[in-house]
Each structure stands twice: as structure tokens, then as C-alpha cells.
Structure 1
């Protein structure tokens, strides 16, 4: 655990001691804020619960997008700069390295997600919103961040440079997000399997509406775990080459 935290602190310093992490957070918050003002609030009267639902809808997209630039550098940058050999020779297990990098990216994602709290707070002050609705929505956003950050970590682990990592992770995330569309043209039982893999339609919609589904919690955590396990396995294979 100590080794994992050392890696996490090293990576967090790389994010927050440079402009990169702050620029990503600022750009995503700007986009999320503009979408909130233009579409969630809009110029037509709405129930507060509907405004919150729309906010979480747009925040879902922003969270998925943010995970790409945040994770693409995790391993790919080490390979580009030649510092990967230092991690390979360090007295750290594969899980400590992968877990440490993942935790650092999740810390950035948590800062990003929690920085949007002022938006539902504005609705809370001026309207009637359930605390449970807001809690469920943010729990969903953090679970989405956990899953997409795991996928981004895997994309960076298998790529030689950051651009390839970004493109590969984008394609993989698109498959997960748009799985519900693929399910419409598939036949049972494949249809049910593909539908279950949808990051949004099958699993996030409930959180967006203020409902917590245990199945969806397990799904997001499972996606993150499998992605990290695959990243660890890939590191093991690469070390033996």
C-alpha cells in the first residue's frame, strides 16, 4: 500500500504542479457550465428535478470526455520519455504501479466532479431538490469516473504514445457508451449482453433520476477492476519481452 501511495503522490504532483491538470479541469468545467446554463436551466420554466436530471446528463458526457486527456499520459508518457525503465526496476509490484497511477487520475477526476457542486447548489437554493437526488447523481458520476478512468489507464498501458492512447481509449469508451444502440440491432441473447454493457442508458440513467441501483454500482466497479487487471497483466507481459 505504501508503494502504491508513493506512485500516486508522484503522479498527482505531475498533474497539479503543471498546467496540464488545471487546464483540463478548467476547460471541462467551462463546457459543463455552458451546457448547464444553455440547456439544463434554459429560458423555459422547468421543474427543479428536471433541471438536475439535465445537469447530470451533461455532466456524464463531460466526465467521460475528461477521463481521456487525464489518463492518456499515465503510462504512454513514461514510454515516450524513457522513464518507464525506472518503474520497471523499482521495488514495486505491478499492482502498486497500476493502482498508484489510477488513484492519481481518480483524484483529479474527483476534483473535477466535485467542482461542479455549485451548479446543483444554485438549483437547491432557488428551487425544491431532494438531497437524495443530488447524492445519487454524484455517486453515479464518481462511478462513471472510476470506470472510464480504468479504461483510460488500460488504453495508456497498451500504447506507446499519448495520441495512440487517447484514440484507443476514445474508441473503447464509444463502444461502451453507444452499446445501447448496438443492442437494438442485435438478436437475443446477445442483445441483452450488449445492452448490459452500456455505460449510460442501462446504468447511469437511474442515478440521473435520483435512484441508486446496486447492479449498476457493481457494474461500474467491475469495469474499473477488469481494466486495471488487464493493465497489470499487460505490464507483466511487457516486462518479460
Structure 2
């Protein structure tokens, strides 16, 4: 939603699509998971007296809208893209089928996974880790508002320091707000490295893929992570 408070910001969508194209043209296979908080957040729906399950499903539908918008922006740039939804809606996109998604990647297409896991009570973070494991990705990259994990909120505390690297257990034990705990535990169990970078920074995604940008990595072994990162596939 860019600098706005709601909805889609065309310039932000276009910039992200440009960066995905640059990364894909470097020979990197890219699959994406999008959230829907710019349109509807499930947790906010509970405050509006909507039951949690229904509210979460509404949030999942919002992610499909974002996925279709990003698909349109990518295809206008000549990047063949497929949207797969965990909630079947054949009129607008494909249902999620793992083997078909892998085949799309093999054919050089970008795959966007929408509707989370298809189940209430699970966040987009968990959906991202789940899909990354299913696609056998080398690394999961989380684009967020800040360029990594800090000792405190860098917006409120100018003295906050950014971590270059964190082990999974440190994230869990210190309850660091990298991703929700279920997502971190699933990533740790499958030894899936995570990069947290700023999606709001111009070329932030491109630089993070190259390993030259500002980000925080989460894995059990920083040295091995750095070595494998230079050949990574988001």
C-alpha cells in the first residue's frame, strides 16, 4: 500500500515487480507469498465482531487480490507468472498443486502463492515457510518495513542495533518479532535459512538476493548460510 493507509499503491506494486524481474533474469527461480493486510487483516476482523475463522478467510481472499495485481504487473514486464490459491477459485487463478508449481518454476515462470495455507489461525508467515519447504527453496526472504531485526524498534529507539545474524533458538527464546513462532519453528525443523530485509528500500530485494544489502539472516550456521546464499533460490 506504499505510503497510504489502505489498498494498493500502483508505484509500489510496479517497483516490486521491477525488482522481481531483475532477480529472475539473473537465473534465480522465484516464488512469492503475499499477504493481504493492506486490504483486510483477520485479527482486525475479530475486533469488528466477526468470528475468527470467517475473519481469517476474508484475509485470505485479500491476498488473492494482491497476488492478481502483482501478477498483472509482472506480466506487463514480460515475466510469465502464475497465481496458485490454497482456496480453489478456478475462474481467477489455479488451485495450489505442488507438482504443477514446481513445473512452472522449471519453465522459468514466477509462481505467486495466495490464500495462505487455506486454513484459519495460520499466518502468512507460516504459509511462506510451508510453501518454501514444499518447493525445496534454498532460502526464504521476508520483505518487511525495516532492513532486518533490531535490538529494539528502530523507529522509536535511534540507538537500536541491527543483528547481522541470529540462530533460530535465539529468535524463539527471546521472542523476537521476526515471524510468528510457528513459522520459525517450522523453518528450524527443516533447516530453512531466512533473510529479513526491507521491501520498502529501492532495490532491497535485488541486493538481498546478491547478499550485499542490509539484512538479518536467521539460520543455525552463519558461515554455511553465507556460502550457500551466493547460490540461493528464493
TM-score, structure 2 normalization: 0.33
Larger-Rg structure: 1
TM-score, structure 1 normalization: 0.32
